[in-house]
Amino acid sequence: MATWLLPGCTPAVKSMLRRDEYTPMVVVVALGAGARIQFDVRALTLTGQHVFMSASMNERNTMTMAGSITTIPDAVRVRWRAAPAPGQHWTTGAEEGDYTIAVRSRIPRDVLDYVAAKGGRALVLRFRLKDDAVLLAWDVQERGQYGLSWTMHGGDFKDPRIFGGKVVEPGWENPRRP
């Protein structure tokens, strides 16, 4: 996946954009460990732009999207439903989760400047959906000589780093709720 490209933007168009108008981004969404299956999952910016959507989320499916949003949102509202009654459509379950999480104000300016300073970099926004919260983390994805790497991590959690099937760096989650 060419996540370092600016989808739909020619170099001439990119040069006309202010730095804050376009940030190459990847969005990753996963359900937190132990969370119930969530249905009709949807996330929108406060201006109504879709960030991600899924008919259902469980612990085994993770969504990764490049180019779903092109500007860093001030906040994202994430909503989902409980399981529908047997035989009912997945959008009919009771509204169960409704969380708004600040995004732009939580990412340090030096991280954004670093992404903008060189091609081949993208800001990765990671959302972890739990039964009682939505957590946000971020890092910078960089394309290098040996593939992709991730640096400048911050936020509410960090996934474990696994190499050769073994955990080489444990993950963590901030017990503070945003």
Reported confidence tier of residue 58, pLDDT bands at 50, 70, 90: confident
- The most distant pair of C-alpha atoms in the chain lies apart, rounded to whole Å, by 53
Average pLDDT over residues 139-168: 83
Q: Is residue 141 part of a domain?
A: yes
Q: Are 67 and 27 in contact (CB under 8 A)?
A: no
Mean pLDDT, rounded, for 58-69: 80
pTM: 0.79
Written as one string, the DSSP assignment of 63-131 is EEEESS-SS--SEEEEEEEPPPPTTS-TT-SPEEEEEEEE-GGGS-HHHHHHHHHSTTEEEEEEEEE-S
**Is residue 1 one of the residues assigned to a domain?**
no
* Region 55-62 average pLDDT: 85
Q: Considering the chain, what is the average pLDDT of its residues?
A: 81
| pLDDT at 21 (0 to 100) | 55
Are the C-beta atoms of 123 and 25 separated by less than 8 Å?
yes
Query: pLDDT for 66-120, tens place per residue?
Result: 876 778 899 999 999 988 888 888 778 888 999 999 999 999 999 999 988 888 8
Side chain identity at 141, as an amino acid letter?
Q
Number of structural domains (the chain) is 1
Which of the four pLDDT bands, split at 50, 70 and 90, describes residue 22?
low
Does 71 reside within a domain? yes
Distance CA 51, CA 69 (A): 6
With respect to residue 11, please indicate whether it lies within any of the assigned structural domains.
Answer: no
Residue 7 placed within a domain:
no
- Domain boundaries, position 54: 28-173
Tell me, yes or no, whether 145 lies in a domain. yes
The answer to the question of residue 21 being in a domain is: no
